[in-house]
Amino acid sequence: MFSKFIKKIKDYLTFNKSERRGLLVLSVLILILIIINILLPYFNTYKKYDYSEFDKQVSEFLSTREIVSTRPKTYKQKEPFNIYDANTSAVEQKLNPFAFDPNTLSYEGFIQMGFLPKQAITVIKYRTKGGRFYKKEDFSKMYCISKSEYQILEPFIEIKSPEKKSFSNDHHEEISKVDINTATEEQLMQIKGIGNYFAKNIIKYRSQLGGYYSKEQLLEIPKMDSEKYEIISPYLEVNMNAIHKINVNTATFDQLKQHSYIGYNIALSLINYREKHGSYKNISDIKKSALITDKNYPKISCYLCTE
């Protein structure tokens, strides 16, 4: 009986051929994994990074930031408007003034300073009609400039005295200002600096636009550089009433796209909006059209009307 018991235990603890083979394979795999685990660190190469240049840049940035924060500001740096900042008004955060002459600053310059497009175009129109600022206080009289805006801008206004220029033809006779919206080639050519080429191109571009709303548009004419413009501009004026305007409520797609400032895509956008929403009640309504932006609206609006 004891021998039977021993045999049962021996049979229970003894592995057959398949089980022994499985154990052998498992043992080999475990041994391989142990060897790999021991040898793996010797095959791994860790790339060393040089952080010295980065540390140098961080150090320079911090030192520059310290200098900027301690130096007196010569202009107002724009930051996102914060209604909880009691020390900074909305007007201060809107404007980004720099030294400028309101008699010569371009439309783009006013926009860069923080002016609204409507404000910039109002100042430009005032100048094109012959208006001039002789002292700083004159700029505060513009209805588009609020009292708080003028107080911020006043230290940056630098009005230069106009150069006294004498202009005469070969017979030393004075020549009055010429309106570029109505002048003929002959009248334009009486001005020193405007020859046959520029006279023809001024009239050609005038026909494409439907008239000029600003003398500065002459800079869009091929070969017209700022130097030549400065020579001829004092003897030119613009009659805004002579501009030919297109009725945006009745104009066809072809009529709109032919305008130099409108073109195919904007014309299509204006027509699509009109067909979906009906006639434009005011010119400012064209801003509801997909492609009319704050940048191109001031130019385009001068050549459109609603009736």
What does CATH list as the number for 246-305?
1.10.150.280
- Distance CA(291)–CA(256), nearest Å, equals 14
Rounded CA-CA distance 197/216 in Å is 18
For residues 250 and 78, which has the higher predicted lDDT (pLDDT)?
250
Q: Report the distance separating Cα 306 and Cα 284, nearest Å.
A: 10
d(CA 142, CA 150): 10
The CATH topology of domain 178-240 is DNA polymerase; domain 1 (1.10.150)
Q: Is the pLDDT of residue 137 over 50?
A: yes
Residue 204 — very low, low, confident or very high, per pLDDT cuts 50/70/90? Answer: very high
The burial of 120, by beta-carbon neighbours within 10 Å (0-12 exposed, 13-18 middle, 19 or more buried), is given as buried
What are the tens digits of pLDDT across the range 214-259? Answer: 999 999 999 888 888 888 999 999 988 889 999 999 999 999 999 9
Q: Pull the structure tokens for residue 258.
A: 């032919």
